[in-house]
Chains A and B, each alone.
Chain A
């Protein structure tokens, strides 16, 4: 008999991976808006704005899907996370609100467009940096295994600070920021096709972000040995640890190599594979916990009478959602769209 809790948990991680690939990259776009520089400064900003304009709201819903699945299918996990990590979650939410509002305010300002001196442009850039850090901090704090549950009342034991204000979660935050920036840069190389100079700008940025991602990921791994022992054990001692490390390492290095050789399409695919690998590693590393060290996902799961109907809705909903999502991407990310009005 299939365990519905396991299926939902897998879907949560798939949604998280898709969110990083889409919504995460939108935040990365904001990072490059912040660091726009050189003679093509405003062209860089205009490209970013045009690239994320039609899709960022749909991309953002993947995060909502993760939250909803969490509170519907694993209510005690949601309660524990949102109680103990109130502060980073609130900071992340303020970032979400400011990023979205500032982007739309700037995009629809008849005078402003993508001008960097636009006050909302500054807000957009800064909040695009803070939000992925905070999301990473939250993920890192959950993974770190510092959210024990009081067996008497089922509530999380927390001082609201120490679980997330620690080296490991903060390093996860910076890794997430670097990874989002890397994704955005390789996407933007693609978006800039037809403009070799602009492509070179973002290729250079992708390389910087790639090196930063590697450094951040390595520091995170080292910090995990004391900061997230469960993950550390899984990543160094489990049966899949070696192949996994080899795979992610190879993909990451090949991605950098492809960038340097200007194999842009290959680099983009490799970076996307890297993201999927990282999220998969995170998911496998956490099994069987959802909020370690006490809550397993089976213990936290809602009863099957809730899970099966939700899975049914997810399945049926996908019949509407997937074609619509694909249509959106084909329309705005399909080939030969240079020269059309944005």
Chain B
């Protein structure tokens, strides 16, 4: 492997690790704030216990997210100094704003976690809402910088020199709105389903899911499924907006996602399939004629550009992008289906549905959000290759001259594996296992 490949692997691994904690930092505050709001409204201590347990989990996840995010902000320079030298000023606005949002998030979280006895309940809830707002803003700002790499704007290039920098135009680049919306919804879907999955598993494990001692898990499921389910329904619409944007701004990425080789009218929507990058064909796919044309231009007869429009050295690795895209879409629709069933049962029974088959489905869909999340980032990052700044700077030209990059890659991989395992073990103990010494005995009116 070359140093470039190690640098890319280290960046990819660091991002893939950090994103898990970043989505928790966005969506867990929503869950804990909803639980606390229920407590303030109903006065039932079970809701407070839920908010406090989720807050503990949030504390652990946020801490690991904060330090792994610090690593990323340094890695931009450690691995891609040429990119940062070129683009640092251009993507500065969202990063500066992100700094403040992250600051406020850390402050409000400190008050939320350690201030249960120190501030009034309403002020405490307000601190939680502060965590939620600043957490989501922080993610939106970071996504703006990534979106700029996809649609670089806000400057002029004169003989290879950047002039007339407009940081606001760079921040509000064309890819920003769709990408930010997709990311925020993804956070709520992922965390909602993962949390639902775990609590549903504890309900399934017990002989009777309606037992009073399981009130904690039923309350948790009701909130997590609400957040994850609603987001899962809105997410495909945001995906559709993204596709329409890509058709205009990054047609090569869209073509790679669809493994679409020849520019054509009535371009098909491909389901599954395996691209052969040598022969430039896609095999074993189910094609819906005109589907891609319709989704990208609202017209099945519209022409959609294919990968052959650009030379091979300007194409991303098609197989990776296509397969990742298929995975993301499949996982997304899977979660939407589970959310629909859950919502239907809840509406029919006017209560939290606890059918065993349904709980099994919820458990099974628990990891789907993570799969969709990681696959989605593969689509947007690998899909942008070979460029680090689309159409302007190649990834190979941005890498550090530092030799031996296998060493930091191995070190961080090892470190993150240990941290990942430790977090899972700890969360199981402090959030999900109901303490036998203090049984949550108030199982009565906990239906959402």
A86 touches B165 (CB 8 A): no
A108 touches B107 (CB 8 A): no
Question: Who on chain A is nearest to B97 by CB?
Answer: A313
Q: Please tell me if B104 contacts chain A, counting CB pairs below 8 Å.
A: yes
Please, which residues of chain B bring their CB within 8 A of the CB of A68? 73, 92, 95-96, 98-99
How far apart are the CA atoms of A313 and B100 in the complex, in Å?
Answer: 9
Minimum C-beta distance from A2 to chain B (A): 19
Q: Please tell me if A109 contacts chain B, counting CB pairs below 8 Å.
A: yes
Question: Who on chain B is nearest to A90 by CB?
Answer: B408
The residue that B426 contacts in the complex, of A83, A89, A98, A108, with Cβ under 8 A, is A108
How far apart are the CA atoms of A99 and B67 in the complex, in Å?
Answer: 9
Please, which residues of chain B bring their CB within 8 A of the CB of A293? none
B99 touches A89 (CB 8 A): no
B84 touches A302 (CB 8 A): no
Chain A: interface size category? 35 or more
How far apart are the CA atoms of A101 and B65 in the complex, in Å?
Answer: 9
B66 touches A100 (CB 8 A): yes
Q: Please tell me if B348 contacts chain A, counting CB pairs below 8 Å.
A: no
The residue that A54 contacts in the complex, of B74, B78, B113, with Cβ under 8 A, is B113
Question: Who on chain A is nearest to B162 by CB?
Answer: A303
Please, which residues of chain A bring their CB within 8 A of the CB of B109? 57
Minimum C-beta distance from A338 to chain B (A): 14
Interface string of A159-186 (1 = CB under 8 A from B): 0100000000000000000000000000
**Complex interface residues of chain B between 95 and 121 (CB less than 8 A to chain A):** 95-100, 102-104, 106-111, 113-115, 117-119
The residue that B92 contacts in the complex, of A86, A310, A324, with Cβ under 8 A, is A310
How far apart are the CA atoms of A60 and B102 in the complex, in Å?
Answer: 10
Question: Who on chain A is nearest to B431 by CB?
Answer: A108
Interface string of A67-104 (1 = CB under 8 A from B): 11101111110111111001001100110111111011
How far apart are the CA atoms of A310 and B97 in the complex, in Å?
Answer: 9
B99 touches A65 (CB 8 A): yes
Please, which residues of chain B bring their CB within 8 A of the CB of A340? 117-118
Q: Which of A25-33, A216-224, A260-268, A326-334 contacts B (4 or more CB under 8 A)?
A: A326-334
Q: Please tell me if B45 contacts chain A, counting CB pairs below 8 Å.
A: no
B86 touches A75 (CB 8 A): yes
Q: Check A78/B84 contact, CB under 8 A, given A73-B92, A83-B400, A331-B115.
A: yes
Provide a sorted-by-A list of 22 A–B residue pairs whose CB atoms are within 8 angstroms: A53-B114, A58-B107, A63-B70, A68-B92, A71-B76, A71-B95, A72-B92, A82-B81, A82-B84, A83-B400, A89-B78, A96-B71, A99-B67, A305-B166, A310-B167, A313-B93, A313-B100, A321-B104, A321-B107, A324-B104, A328-B107, A332-B110
Total residues of chain B contacting the partner, CB 8 A: 69
Q: Please tell me if B429 contacts chain A, counting CB pairs below 8 Å.
A: yes
Q: Give the secondary structure class of A's interface.
A: helix
Residues of B within 8 A of A (CB): 56, 59-60, 62-64, 66-71, 73-74, 76-78, 81-82, 84-93, 95-100, 102-104, 106-111, 113-115, 117-119, 130, 164-168, 400-403, 408, 411-412, 415, 419, 422, 426, 429-430
A317 touches B100 (CB 8 A): yes
Please, which residues of chain A bring their CB within 8 A of the CB of B95? 68, 71-72
How far apart are the CA atoms of A194 and B77 in the complex, in Å?
Answer: 47
The residue that A154 contacts in the complex, of B85, B98, B100, with Cβ under 8 A, is B85
How far apart are the CA atoms of A305 and B156 in the complex, in Å?
Answer: 13
Please, which residues of chain A bring their CB within 8 A of the CB of B100? 313, 317, 320-321
Q: Check A64/B102 contact, CB under 8 A, given A79-B82, A331-B118.
A: yes
**Complex interface residues of chain A between 257 and 312 (CB less than 8 A to chain B):** 302-303, 305-306, 309-310
Please, which residues of chain A bring their CB within 8 A of the CB of B430? 108-110
Question: Who on chain B is nearest to A76 by CB?
Answer: B85
How far apart are the CA atoms of A249 and B312 in the complex, in Å?
Answer: 66
Q: Check A310/B93 contact, CB under 8 A, given A63-B70, A341-B117.
A: yes
A309 touches B415 (CB 8 A): no
Q: Please tell me if A314 contacts chain B, counting CB pairs below 8 Å.
A: yes
B419 touches A101 (CB 8 A): yes
Please, which residues of chain A bring their CB within 8 A of the CB of B64? 100-101, 104
Please, which residues of chain B bring their CB within 8 A of the CB of A6? none
How far apart are the CA atoms of A219 and B429 in the complex, in Å?
Answer: 49
The residue that A105 contacts in the complex, of B62, B69, B422, with Cβ under 8 A, is B422
A108 touches B114 (CB 8 A): no
A82 touches B77 (CB 8 A): yes
Please, which residues of chain A bring their CB within 8 A of the CB of B118? 331-332, 340
Please, which residues of chain A bring their CB within 8 A of the CB of B164? 305
The residue that A72 contacts in the complex, of B56, B60, B67, B96, with Cβ under 8 A, is B96
Q: Check A101/B107 contact, CB under 8 A, given A108-B59, A302-B165, A309-B93.
A: no
Q: Please tell me if A61 contacts chain B, counting CB pairs below 8 Å.
A: yes
Minimum C-beta distance from B89 to chain A (A): 3
Question: Who on chain A is nearest to B76 by CB?
Answer: A71
B67 touches A64 (CB 8 A): no
Listed residue (A82, A89, A303, A325) with the most chain B CB atoms within 10 angstroms of its CB: A82
